[in-house]
Structure 1
Amino acid sequence: MKLNRLLSLACVTFAVTFAGFSGAASAQTPDVLNVATDATFPPMEYTENGARTGFDVDMMNALAKAMGKRVQWTDIDFKGLIPGLIAHRFDAAISGIYITDERAKVVDFTDSYYAGGLVALVKSDSPIKSVTDLNGKKVSVQVGTKSVNFLRDNCPQINRVEVEKNQEMFDLVGIGRADAAVTGKPAAYQLVKTRGGFRVLEKPLTTEAYGIAVRKDEPQLKAAFNTALAKIKADGTYAAIVKKWFGATAQ
């Protein structure tokens, strides 16, 4: 009887231990990249018919394939991307993120995968011709983006209207509650093309580089992304994605 009890205990212990190891192994899932984005920024990332799509989405899926991995997406507000990355909620973030000195203090970035910049968007019939015409006027910006800091540091006479979502910026301009919106060039031109009633000021405010954010304690992941980026540029995949979304050849 005692022997039977010992054997039963041993079996239970083995089962619990095995389950623990099995759970740890599945949690690591080395073939999966956990990637975060804020899918509200067309054409970079957005949802259409319930599916996630966009330039960044195609780019990340292509990079993951070149790395022999698949992507598991996490949707999160833009302002939470870098804090969430630092907190190990995901492995990387791609969401039209500009490489900046401030961000580079807390996270690492891959090589730039596309060049963009900040532009000002106004209604088609607006008399505004340059950013100086916006002094004393209301300009909508999305919290957590470089637009906020750029206007704060370079255009103190502009009244910022900070909103949570990219679409809110455009809506405020559309209904006249803001005189302009400052956002990334791809998103601004996408809105002009698809919605109408808007135009982009001729002179861009900045020239920027988009990068994938990774943690500073993951140098091997950064290197793997850069190797994959070089690979898809060499085999034509990168050029095809750029042409699909921007109708131009790769940079």
Structure 2
Amino acid sequence: MLNQVTSEGMFIDVKYPPSFPIVSHSFSGEVVEGDSVTLACSADANPAATYTWYKEHEANPLSKGPKLVFRSVQSSDSGKYFCAAENVLKRMTSGSILINVEYAPKLPRISVSASEIMEGISLTLSCSSDSNPAANYTWFKENEKTPQSSGQNLTITNIGRQHSGLYFCEAHNSRGSHKSAIHLTVAARNRNMTFKMMNITKLAAAALLLLSLLFVVSLWTRKKKPTDVKTESKEHVENIELDLCPEYENISTLRSFIASHEEREKQTNPT
């Protein structure tokens, strides 16, 4: 009988690149601000793969290792994440996973449509807040039980002194609420400004009347001149127009000017 001799075993170590990485997560439903969240990355590879974590649209890696841990996830952590598995043979990238962090509204910001709040104007207050899911808004006025408005904007038409007071904007969603306030002081309409506008209108009307009378005087002067001195008359009228000062403020000054002009005509062209 022949003797059988067995050789020593030989190990064959087959090298291969990482398989397509698989990402798993610790949450089973909604992610709320403050929760602990863990992402895990795995890929079959020989030699064993090393792992790097990234957030979409960010060039720099977040961390290295098979796990990415958020001990207290924040609203700023919302986004898509993926991992890369790599060994000496190849680098493979996983698909992305979305972390959608829900949170209560942040402190609302209130803006006002007018820089000066005076009686009679239309005023709009606007409220906005960062939140997930999107916030709903309600407006209240101090010491009044009924809401002033539901929605981002509160519009008050023909505002009066009775609308002065403290207004609150409350932003709320399924995760909570936050409130901001603004105090409105409605000022009486500026009577001096109204009076000035009336004066400007009167001055404009007086200026228009002055120009009309000057035009009539100019036509009358041209008509009075003989035909053979048309050129001299034209030059004389231009001189009159150059001498006119735009600061005539009333009709008596205009009458004095016309009388003076007629006297000069008589002296220049005696009949």
Structure number with higher strand proportion:
2
Into which bin does the TM-score normalised by the smaller protein fall? Answer: under 0.3
Structure possessing the higher relative contact order (Cα contacts under 8 Å, 6 or more residues apart): 1
Normalising by structure 2, we get a TM-score of 0.20
More helix by share: 1
